[in-house]
Amino acid sequence: MPHWLVIDLEATTDEGGWPVSEMEIIEIGATLVNRQGREQDHFQRFVRPLRRPMLTPFCRELTHITQANIDAAAPLTEVWSQFERWLTQHQPRLEGWASWGDYDRKQLQLEWHNQHLHSLLNDVPHMNLKQRFAKARRLERPLGLNAALQLAGMQFNGQQHRALEDARNTARLLPLILP
């Protein structure tokens, strides 16, 4: 049975936001689901940023990620190899990977390039679920994840702006979007 990987990232930021090139991943959350959106496996890790290792108060408040979580984490090069080892076992059944919007894909591609990392995801099609959901619902413009869940008659489960919870909630919308 084919599976989909839904990924969400949390990254360094401050009030008003930063350009993607200035942000660094601080948490990776991924849920592997079947076409009905049922979780088969998951991956979650904190990541220690290198350029700006101190989280801003805004970032800590938004994500509920503590400085201690980040200080105890490994850098992306280590975390990404753990992720790739985890993903390898699922690769034969992987139909594609998805994220809510295009930020996560762009951030990963930037990090892979900057840190000379290889990813199995380069060979797997990516789906922007935010755009696909808007198109499927004939919306004038795409919605945030929480608004999309509400439109679909669902409530957000867990803590918003935490990578694994965001990925799991995004995955709940997958069956409404897949052909």
Segment 152-174, tens digit of pLDDT: 999 999 999 999 999 999 999 99
Over the stretch 14-68, which tens digit does the pLDDT of each residue have? 999 999 999 999 999 999 999 999 999 999 999 999 999 999 999 999 999 999 9
Provide the pLDDT for residue 179. 75
Provide the pLDDT for residue 165. 98
For β-strands 3-11 and 94-99, DSSP reports them as parallel
CA distance 91 to 161: 27
Residue closest to 152 by CA, chosen among 5, 10, 37? 37
Please, which pLDDT band fits residue 1 given cuts at 50, 70 and 90? confident
pTM, entire model: 0.96
What three-state secondary structure class fits 38? Answer: coil
Burial of 36 (0-12, 13-18, 19+ CB in 10 A): exposed
Over the stretch 113-125, which tens digit does the pLDDT of each residue have? 999 999 999 999 9
